[in-house]
Structure 1
Amino acid sequence: MAEQHTEHNQREKLWELIKDVRFTMISHQTEEQEIHSQPMTMLNSEQLNERQNLYFIMKDTNDIVKAINAGHTHLGLSFAKPSDDTYISISAHGEISTDRALIDKLWNPWAENWFQGKDDPSVRVLIARAVSSEYWDVKDNKVTHLFKVLKGNVTGKPQEPDTEHEKLNL
């Protein structure tokens, strides 16, 4: 039986899984009702309210900005840390901000490559509020996992890796 988690504990677990994974694929719905995804860099840090929101800087011409401004606020965020066999999917609601204080907090040297400084009028912040999440965290070490795969190939009886898999309602 799965352990019952409070919302706080669920958000703590989610943050532990994603805090070191800076790159995510963000999916949104287009005007043509298609799902489009693009890679983005998460800008969260310990001093931000990362257990509530995930933050990304983007241009006002970005497709995600256009989608949210058109009312398509439901987003999918995918994180992967293959070195640890950890995979996370987050369902979130997005909003776009031009809050100067938030831009100041998030600004970093990477952003200088894309904008004419933090006062560039095209700077937008995507605030993604996580609603729910699902994760897969393989507990087997690489050797054990490989052994199970090879044994399954030889015996014809595949063995599942020891994986922690849970859905979190945030």
Structure 2
Amino acid sequence: MTDNLKEKFWDRLQDTRAGMLSTDSAPAVPMSHHADKNSGTIWFITAKDTDLAKSAAASTRSQFLLSSADESLYARVDGALEAVTDRKMLDEIWSVFAGAWFEDGKDDPDIQLLRFTPREAEVWATDGSVSFLYEVAKANLTDSKPDAGDHGKLLF
């Protein structure tokens, strides 16, 4: 099940727009992400003067909390966050959403790229809210427990 749950995690992470990212010294804030399944990393674009960027300047423990809009993924991901300079990756993950925050686009000197390397996660992968409502109704009619999907801990 762990390999299947890990696959679901990466696939559904691609379809999830944002989560809450924090470090030991920076409070959780909403952040859009780019999941790189091949390298096992999650990327963020922020400004150099944010608490997250300052905290990540010296690789730090961090946590990324996720809840997908379709309710098919919930996760708490613990890992390391570091500030990096990687123009190729910035070009790859740049979007109109990121562009709205930076006056000079990808060339804005205030841009800070953050690389999050997951170490472990607790993941809930469901079939979504409609399926869950069906499971709750079925459980109430049959006195059984609802099937809430896959749940487990992952190591990366």
TM-score range normalised by the length of the shorter chain: 0.7 to 0.9
Name stretches of at least 5 consecutive residues in structure 1 with no aligned partner. none
- Structure with more relative contact order (C-alpha pairs < 8 Å, separation 6 or more): 2
- Percent identical residues: 24
Q: Distance in 2 between matches of 1:72 and 1:158?
A: 47
Of the candidates 90, 93, 98, which is equivalent to residue 85 of structure 2? 98
User: Deviation of residue 114 (structure 1)?
Assistant: 1.1
Q: Cα gap change, 1:166/1:106 in structure 2, threshold over 3 Å: closer, same or farther?
A: same
Q: Distance in 1 between matches of 2:2 and 2:109?
A: 45
| 1:163 equivalenced with 2:149 (yes/no) | yes
Deviation larger for 58-67 or 76-85: 76-85
| 1:42 equivalenced with 2:33 (yes/no) | yes
Count of residue pairs the alignment pairs up? 153
Q: Cα gap change, 1:128/1:146 in structure 2, threshold over 3 Å: closer, same or farther?
A: same
Q: Cα gap change, 1:4/1:59 in structure 2, threshold over 3 Å: closer, same or farther?
A: closer
1:7-156 equivalences under 5 Å are: 11-30=6-25, 36-44=27-35, 48=36, 50-69=38-57, 71=58, 73-81=60-68, 83-115=70-102, 116-139=104-127, 141-147=131-137, 151=140
Q: Distance in 1 between matches of 2:91 and 2:126?
A: 37
For the pair shown, which has the larger CA radius of gyration, 1 or 2? 1
Name stretches of at least 5 consecutive residues in structure 2 with no aligned partner. none
- Give the structure-1-normalised TM-score: 0.75
- AA at the equivalent of 1:39: P
Q: Cα gap change, 1:158/1:10 in structure 2, threshold over 3 Å: closer, same or farther?
A: closer
Whether the aligned pair in 2 keeps the contact of 1:93 and 1:128 (CA below 8 Å) is yes
- Give the structure-2-normalised TM-score: 0.81
User: Deviation of residue 11 (structure 1)?
Assistant: 4.6
Q: Distance in 2 between matches of 1:83 and 1:109?
A: 23
Aligned-pair Cα RMSD in Å: 2.8
